[in-house]
Amino acid sequence: MFKSGFIGIIGRPNVGKSTLLNAIIGEKIAITAYKPQTTRNRILGIKNSENGQLIFIDTPGIHKATTPLNQFMVATAMNTFRSTDILLMLVEAPESVHRDDQLIIDALHSIRLPVILLINKIDLVRKSTILPLIDQFQRLFSFAEIIPASALTGDGISVVIDQIWKILPEGPKYFPDEMMTDRSERFIAAEIIREKIILLAHQEIPYTTAVVVDSFKEDEKKNLIRVQATINVAKDSQKGIIIGKKGSMLREIGTRARLEMEKFFAARIYLELFVRVKKDWPHDPRMLGEFGYAEKT
């Protein structure tokens, strides 16, 4: 019997959804950072086995959104409710029920999908604090299962996978065995660059930055990939911060991104980065569409 299906990973910002996806797939296909709202787009990860295919959908954090960019991110996540077989909701230990957790649970009452609750980051808390949290969530919604786990250490991940196999229906093989994500090489390269900006820059810079890969050319004979990318910012002052003194920040972003790309693509990378100001782009619907942050119709 071959099982397959789509599992939506949902939760508020910064609870470890992308870290979980990477742990399950065994490869880093989604960028991660300590800052909330790192994930902006839906990212699909595929876990293959002899008996089935699990297709995980990592989504942006669900929260009360005010800007057009954040509204796009939340809409992307909420659309997952309508296109999956199982939902995997992440919350964070040791916190009590967060207001954004409640926002998600309120939305879950209108669907008929099985929902597994994963209490993440148990490596950071005492076990005695987890049982009261489980009790709180049990009172709020009828979850198919509640599983304490740590996406960072891998503790409890096998339990999550086993539970998904139990619930998942029979189905076809949707993707080839060698495929682990539906995202293009250009998208992954852009996300790697954006992750380095998030890790190196401070304050509002990561939230007003969009990366576009202008050129991605492979030279198989030389095992070389030439990548040209533009870092778009919303203000003139932000351009100076991204470039840094005598280009120091841009060089560091480029070096870290190049090294990670070489690891991911198993090839040498020649990376060129440019910085461009697109005034107030997070509030411009046209620019949001150009950068890939507009709902598809």
For CA atoms 127, 131, 137, 141, the dihedral sign is: positive
Angle of helix 157-167 relative to helix 17-25, nearest 10 degrees, comes to 80
Is the pLDDT reported for residue 287 higher than 70?
yes
96 CA to centre of own chain: 23
What pLDDT sits at residue 35? 62
- Residue corresponding to tokens 């509640």: 146
- Residue corresponding to tokens 């939760």: 11
What percent of the chain lies above the pLDDT cut of 90?
53
Q: How far is CA 221 from CA 35, 224, 228, 258, in A?
A: 39, 8, 20, 19
| Rounded Cα–Cα distance for residues 185 and 232 (Å) | 19
What pLDDT sits at residue 222? 92
| Rounded Cα–Cα distance for residues 146 and 213 (Å) | 40
What pLDDT sits at residue 125? 83
What pLDDT sits at residue 100? 87
What pLDDT sits at residue 27? 82
What pLDDT sits at residue 204? 67
What pLDDT sits at residue 37? 61
Copy the structure tokens of residue 132: 């009261």
User: Torsions phi, psi of 45, nearest 5?
Assistant: -125, 135
Mean pLDDT is lowest, of 71-80, 210-219, 264-273, 282-291, for 71-80
Q: How far is CA 282 from CA 72, 187, 191, 232, 288, in A?
A: 10, 19, 17, 11, 6
Is the pLDDT reported for residue 290 higher than 50?
yes
Pick 10 or 205 by higher pLDDT. Answer: 10
For CA atoms 12, 171, 114, 48, the dihedral sign is: negative
Structure confidence by residue, pLDDT tens digits, 72-107: 766 777 777 777 899 999 998 876 788 889 988 988
What pLDDT sits at residue 296? 54
Is the pLDDT reported for residue 71 higher than 50?
yes
Is the pLDDT reported for residue 212 higher than 90?
yes
Is the pLDDT reported for residue 228 higher than 90?
yes
Question: Who's near 99: CB < 8 A, 6+ residues apart?
Answer: none
What pLDDT sits at residue 227? 97
Pick 126 or 161 by higher pLDDT. Answer: 161
| Number of residues assigned to the chain | 297
User: Are the C-beta atoms of 87 and 77 separated by less than 8 Å?
Assistant: no
For CA atoms 98, 100, 106, 107, the dihedral sign is: negative
Q: Is 193 exposed, middle or buried (0-12, 13-18, 19+ CB in 10 A)?
A: buried
In 3D space, the residue among 210, 246, 245, 248 whose CA is nearest the CA of residue 229 turns out to be 210
Q: How confident is the model at residue 58 (pLDDT cuts 50, 70, 90)?
A: confident
User: Are the C-beta atoms of 32 and 38 separated by less than 8 Å?
Assistant: yes
Mean pLDDT, the chain, rounded, equals: 87
Question: Who's near 240: CB < 8 A, 6+ residues apart?
Answer: none
Question: What structural domains does the chain harbor?
Answer: 3-167 (3.40.50.300), 185-290 (3.30.300.20)
Pick 14 or 254 by higher pLDDT. Answer: 254
> Model pTM?
0.79
Q: How confident is the model at residue 205 (pLDDT cuts 50, 70, 90)?
A: confident
DSSP letters, 226-267, are: EEEEEEEESSHHHHHHHH-GGGHHHHHHHHHHHHHHHHHHTS
Structure confidence by residue, pLDDT tens digits, 258-280: 999 999 898 999 999 999 999 98
What pLDDT sits at residue 34? 62
Q: How confident is the model at residue 297 (pLDDT cuts 50, 70, 90)?
A: very low
